[in-house]
Amino acid sequence: MMKFARVTIVMGSQSDWETMKAATKPLEELGIEFEAGIVSAHRTPQRLVEFASNAHKNGTKVIIAGAGGAAHLPGMIASETLVPVIGVPVASRHLKGMDSLLSIVQMPRGIPVATMAIGEAGAMNAGLMAAQMLAIEDEALRQRLQEYRQKQTDNVPFEIVK
Ligand SMILES: Nc1c(C(=O)O)ncn1[C@@H]1O[C@H](COP(=O)(O)O)[C@@H](O)[C@H]1O
């Protein structure tokens, strides 16, 4: 059964986890509870409707949805809820994720999906974006995000390793 948390991460298939687990890293580091599970517009359409239409009521503030290929999952979830959806295009074998990217980003007007980059960087940024959204109304989290940024800055050396 699908569980809900402040941030709920869903993906089209178990095979997306390798990429999507990158979204959990910043959430863990920033102390944000999350749940992750498999929901597919194509393979589990009823689960999708049940998940998306109950997300707000169940306390989810941000949904991260990753899918590859004909990636209808983020857009279909967005059409069933007002909870903001961050879409992550998962790289596909034949088209390297260009198919996923275009299916997620090219939403018709009226139903937005906040689309990240293809692959792991996009998944990680989805976690960070979710944190920043929650930080709008959470000063303590904002502080932790500031420290996270500072640490990232401090970890970029000037010297080139030759
Ligand atoms: N794009 C979607 C959706 C959807 O959009 O609902 N459901 C599964 N898939 C994608 O199919 C790819 C291959 O899945 P399998 O590895 O299970 O064959 C995955 O990247 C998944 O996200």
pLDDT digits (tens, 9 = 90+) for 3-17: 778 999 999 999 999
- Nearest-CA residue for ligand 1 atom 3 is 12
Q: Cα(41)–Cα(52) distance, rounded to whole angstroms?
A: 11
Mean pLDDT over residues 33-48, rounded? 98
Mean pLDDT over residues 54-77, rounded? 98
Per-residue model confidence (pLDDT) at position 72: 98
- Nearest-CA residue for ligand 1 atom 8 is 12
Ligand 1 atom closest to Cα of residue 70:
1
Q: Cα(113)–Cα(71) distance, rounded to whole angstroms?
A: 12
* 100 CB neighbour count, 10 Å cutoff: 30
Q: 7-154: what fold?
A: Rossmann fold (3.40.50)
Mean pLDDT over residues 117-129, rounded? 98
The Å distance, Cα 119 to ligand 1 centre, comes to 14
Ligand 1 test: best mutation among 10, 39, 40, 105, most atoms within 8 Å of CB? 40
The Å distance, Cα 5 to ligand 1 centre, comes to 23
Per-residue model confidence (pLDDT) at position 57: 97
Ligand 1 atom closest to Cα of residue 43:
7
144-153 per-position pLDDT tens digit? 999 999 999 9
pLDDT band of residue 25 (cuts 50, 70, 90) is very high
Per-residue model confidence (pLDDT) at position 82: 98
Q: Cα(39)–Cα(46) distance, rounded to whole angstroms?
A: 9
Q: Cα(52)–Cα(84) distance, rounded to whole angstroms?
A: 11
Per-residue model confidence (pLDDT) at position 106: 98
Q: Is the ipTM of this complex over 0.95?
A: yes
State yes or no: 43 annotated in a binding site: yes
Per-residue model confidence (pLDDT) at position 114: 98
Per-residue model confidence (pLDDT) at position 3: 75
State yes or no: 138 annotated in a binding site: no
State yes or no: 142 annotated in a binding site: no
The Å distance, Cα 142 to ligand 1 centre, comes to 34
- Domain segments of the chain as ranges: 7-154
Mean pLDDT over residues 96-115, rounded? 98
What does the mean pLDDT of the chain come to? 97
Per-residue model confidence (pLDDT) at position 4: 78
